[in-house]
Structure 1
Amino acid sequence: MGAWNTAIVNPKWLAREILGLPEGSPFKMDLAIGSSTNVRALLSELFFMPTNDTFLINPSKENNSLFSLADKAATKLYSTLPHTPIIAIGYNFSYELEGNETFNFKPDFNLSRLERTYNDIKGKALSNSTIKHSLSLDNYQHLNLNLSFHSLEEKLFLLMNYHYQADNNKTVINEALGKFHEFYEHSKLISSKLITTEVKH
């Protein structure tokens, strides 16, 4: 998160300055029309999605070389535009549980016990619910790990957000950059510890 000049960070500029692709290299681009027009460009199998206040880099598939390229692209972007204010840097991973999987600590998504209280405040529980835990991790001074256990109708999701609150602090920014593959591997460790397979008899 920061303040980005989307007129500068256009797909042609990203291809040339960030990825070092030859002039005229092909790319795919999508436009999302809403209150503002947002661009999503696919370059070298990475999705780039700049807006005025965020810049997202998303590998198009799970691939170690793409994770490395995403790290290099983010680092190159920062070194090329060092005066762009950086408020926060985050790495986000999600996992949708399969039909025979569940969270191993049995989170209580049932809001019925609060129904009377919600009625008193003129509220009604929806079909989705989220339980969130925030953690610190050893050896990462400025990192917050946010784990969200999400229920949506009949589906369960584990959402993992590795968050650095940078506030333009160069020490924090430099610590945060280049962690995509590292945190991807850690997210797999989290999933293996928090998700279990139910055996039905």
Structure 2
Amino acid sequence: MEPYDWNVIVAGAWNPAIFTPQRVAKNIFGLEEYSNVKVYVSVDGAAPTKIEYNGIIVAASNNALVFSSETNDFNKLVDLLESTIKTLEWLKETPIVAGGFNIRYKLSEENALKIQDSLKCDVDGLFAQQDFEISKTKLTKSLKYESGFINIAFSDDKNGDFSIEMNFNLSSSDYNDIKEWFSISKEKLKTNVGKIINNTLGLNLEFQND
């Protein structure tokens, strides 16, 4: 399995103007100087400005704060969660509505074959009878977990690419609730992902020393 596009998101009424390189460096990354942070600005201004330090990328829009990284593993995810908590403590007066983090994998052909039949249903044949071609299929499940949910999505497309996404989501306007939701250990993260992918689905995810 190939991990991709892991991130942490807090939905709320954010003010992107607050997230200057100087303030981000000091309040999120604990730096006295901001010369070591990288700043990525959209040419057309359509996308939020991104600020990166030590492999952690932060971007704020009017309705979402997003932490991401080019490295998709559990060590880095914990770093993203901790950086998000620091931001919530810094800007605790910001109105928020929900917080979540996403763990995504592209499935190998072996693992894809194990769940391929589960993504098919009787209506597929009915569409085919009417000369419709199904280009993509998506199956979702929502699991109650502690005070929130784990939303799971399986998808495939006509190119034969299969993926699984696990969204750990909590709806709350209390930043302490979101902080607690994000204060999950690496061991607990790996246990939950293993229970879903290996124990329940019978797929083969080998955890590295991350």
* Fold agreement, TM-score > 0.5: yes
Report what 2:15 is aligned to: 5
Q: TM-score, normalised by structure 1?
A: 0.80
Whether 2:111 is the aligned partner of 1:98: answer: no
CA distance in 1, matches of 2:190, 2:22: 28
For the residues of structure 1 that align with 2:163 and 2:170, how far apart are their CA atoms?
23
Name the SS for the 1:136 alignment partner: strand
1:61 CA displacement: 1.4
1:132 aligns with 2:109: no
1:165 to 159, 162, 171: 171
Contact 1:70/1:180 (<8 A) preserved: no
Shift of 1:85: 0.8
Report what 2:4 is aligned to: none
Q: By how many angstroms is 1:28 displaced?
A: 2.3
In structure 2, the residue matched to 1:107 is 118
Q: TM-score, normalised by structure 2?
A: 0.77
Matched positions, count: 189
2:88/2:179 contact within 8 Å kept: no
Name 1:44's counterpart in structure 2.
Answer: 54
Match of 1:69 in 2: 79
**CA 1:52/1:124 → structure 2, altered by over 3 Å: closer, same or farther?**
farther
* Unaligned runs of at least 5 residues, structure 2: 1-10, 205-210
Amino acid at match of 2:155: H
Structure 1: 5+ residue runs without aligned partners?
none
* Deviation by residue 1:127-167 (Cα, 9 ceiling, x = unmatched): 11100001112xx1x2111110111221110110011011x
- CA distance 1:37–1:59, change in 2 (3 Å): closer
Percent identity, please.
20
RMSD: 2.7
| Closer/same/farther in 2, CA of residues 130 and 64 from structure 1, 3 Å limit | closer
